[in-house]
Amino acid sequence: MSWTGIQAGEFTTWGNDKGIDIFLDYSAEVISNVSGGERTGTGYNGLSSFGLDADLGQALGWEGTTLRVSGLDLHGSGIRSRVGDIMGVSNIEGYGSARLYDSWLEKSFEAKSLSLRAGLLLADDEFATLDTAGLFFNETFGWPEFISMNTFNGGPSFYAPALGGRLHWEPSAAIYVLLGLFDGDSLDSPDGDDTVNRHGLHWELGNGQGTIIMGEIGYRQNTGGEDVLPGVFKLGAWHHDSSFDDFGGGSAHDGTQGIYASAEQMVYREYGDQGLAVFARAGYAPEDRSEVEYSFQFGASYIGLIPGRDIDTFGLGLSHATISSDLPGRTSETVTEAAYEYIMSDEFTIQSSVQWVLDPGATDELDDALVFGLRTNLSF
């Protein structure tokens, strides 16, 4: 999912002896466009997530079976319309509602290092991820626009999961394979009407908007020990089988697709998890039917940069998206971001961000925007 705040905490110890963990998390941010864009101004975003994870092997004797049921509540008034950008300066901004969220049943086969998951799924939880970029506010460092802007309503991602299934296979400790099949429109509205599925209970698979198939293969290196520099390298592809207009006025296309690649590598280690890591990712989609032809992200993060703050993280990132040349008057948008995560405890963190958005909306009609953000994350 695009939201990359703290992980689910344990709200209560009730049910622990039965393999049940109940969690409740809350994130709140104040974010301000201080210059440029459509207009200046400040907004507030609030996100609460809640639910339970159940080991059904421990609870019911169904070995290797896990259940997740979760909900999401979004509220506040963000500033995306003030900035006028395409990437999204906040990864917790979305349609304000309470909804059924990431909810699924998973069966693991330990002997074959294989797991199958089905239910309401978030593709951005597992596909095309950049763990090293998890502290940034901008959506581009989570679910990339080379997928989100070239499918219906962003694809199966924060804040609207989609019906689907996923296979995860690890033939060795170094290699993994992901395959996923998802509903082609998680809002179930070709017009992008958030109210149609405002509570996450309007379930359809296909129904005119087709399906999305995703595949990814990854290679992990140097995963063992504290005296090595770990890294992960990924190749992926996706295909949406619905009909897509041709921007040049030709016949509609029976489907669209894209490819991507990413790399994350620790390049310097101080001690434990402390040190410097770098990341890069790029994706491409055909320009005759894709709003974003290609985009790329790269940057670095350092855990423990400031003496005495050994688990805080500082990061710098840049993302660039190029619009299809078949869309006149549109060019590209670039964002640079500096972010810091201050960890007070396992239950409370503070994040800060500064973003510079060049050519918001991928046009030359708006001045470059300067955006400041401050976010707190609570895990109960």
Q: Looking at residue 41, which CATH number applies to its domain? A: 2.40.160.180
Give residue 10's pLDDT.
53
Domain that holds residue 345: 16-379
Give residue 100's pLDDT.
96
Which structure tokens are listed for 101?
A: 């969220």
Residue 38 lies in a domain: yes
Give residue 16's pLDDT.
64
Residue 72 lies in a domain: yes
Distance CA 257, CA 166 (A): 18
Distance CA 99, CA 200 (A): 5
Task: Give the mean pLDDT per block of 10 residues along the chain (380 residues).
Answer: 44 66 97 98 97 93 94 95 96 95 94 92 97 97 97 93 96 96 89 83 75 98 87 98 90 94 97 95 96 98 96 98 94 98 96 98 96 96
Say how many domains are in the chain. 1
3-state secondary structure of 152: helix
Is the distance from CB of 222 to CB of 228 less than 8 angstroms?
yes
Residue 29 lies in a domain: yes
Residue 4 lies in a domain: no
Residue 1 lies in a domain: no
pTM of the complete model: 0.92
Residue 297 lies in a domain: yes
As to burial, measured by CB atoms within 10 angstroms (0-12 exposed, 13-18 middle, 19+ buried), residue 240 is buried
Judged by phi (left if over 0) then psi (alpha if -120 to 50, else beta), residue 316 lies in beta
Reported residue count of the chain is: 380
Which structure tokens are listed for 313?
A: 């993280």
Q: Around Cβ 353, how many Cβ atoms within 10 Å?
A: 23
